[in-house]
Structure 1
Amino acid sequence: MFFNKFCQYSLIIALCGPPSSAAITTNCHDTESLKTFREQGEYIKALDEMDNCLALAADKQPSKNDLHLFVDLIKQVLTKDYSTSLEQAYHNFQSVLGIHLLNKPEFKFAHYFESHPTENTQLFSQIREEGEKYYFYYDTGRFFSDSRGIALTDKSLIWKNLIGKPHRLAFDDIQMLTLVYDSGYFLNKNLSWTGWKLRINNNKNNEIRLSRLPVEALMPFLSAMTYFINFNQTTADKGIMV
């Protein structure tokens, strides 16, 4: 996945904001085990260790070095490699969405649908193609569970907002994902509506409202989605712009 300087900067701000000069800061980046994991290319283990360290030091401000390394580790985990198996790519995807620092919502992954066949059959049944397998679902409804949300199958992105019908786009038809803010909405993570939206292919008719998603999770969420979609596109030279 392509991760430009703007995305890196945005991710740092979204996670915690810059530490103040007077704050007591963390020093998670300087452990020997973390250095060893990085030298060995064990980036998921390094990300887990960094995440756990930051979570245990929740009363401190993350240092600038820790934040930059945290972003770099997410980039390393989500680096597209054509030699990576689908199983490993899916593990990479889950690893980023599972970090404590994001205060993640309740995401549902493939194993959930394997053990809940009724929900697997009913979810977006009107537009899901026969044989598609669910790998991810985020229910964005607060009062009407399963009435809307975002799903990733092995072939497509499916979503439904509070108003309107469900939409489906095959991965090969997705060229661009853009995070936009609608100033007409009041952003409050405790409410079921939000001003943040994900616009697909720069088309205002293809917008996903990111309800209930904490602000600090926006960029990692978009990064993980982009990685998964890129990996599952069937044309090798395709890639999503962010």
Structure 2
Amino acid sequence: MRIVVADDEAMIRAGVRAILASDPDIEVVAEAADGREAVEMVRAHRPDLALLDIRMPKLDGLAAAAEIRRLAPEVGVIMLTTFGEDEYIAGALGNGAGGFLLKSGDPRELIAGIRAVAEGAAFLSPQVARRVINELARGGGRMSRAAEARQRIAGLTGRERQVLELLAGGLSNAEIASRLHVVEGTVKAYVSGILTRLAVRNRVQAAIMAYEAGVVDGLA
């Protein structure tokens, strides 16, 4: 897995590189000190994944994530940040990030998150996942969101709904393929179709919609 690491603090970049060096399957191909440079590094190196801080000069991580997803939609994006405020989480997921990790988390979460997103799954730090679920559960508009989610999901085929349930359960494309006894390329095609039918930008948003609709346990 080829990674671009972007953070405006050199010590953080060095620490991240040291953690990633513990996994022989991960290679840091470039580093960036600001969001604009991160976009250029992705353009130049076409990595598998970009690991972005949120608060960076020239272009913040949220804007950089959106630009990277526009420029190279095949590149996964993970936010690695000190800031776990709701607006940052919502902004990151809305801009297509497949993962949101806190710098205060266990270093093993970083490796797990990179592996998950690289394999086509989504990954949130446990603290972030709890905030997302709690916010959805207590939100004043939960009933209307649930009704809209159910309406959109009703348009899926039976197989697409199966894939959505497994996706929302945190399974990667390879794991879904194994569970359904199909090839991984077929799962990728189903996931792409699901995102289009649900009018969402990434797997995290699709999973949230599944929870809102009661397709999987957790919020219904």
Q: TM-score w.r.t. structure 2 length?
A: 0.32
Relative contact order (C-alpha < 8 Å, sep 6+): which is higher?
1
Q: TM-score w.r.t. structure 1 length?
A: 0.30
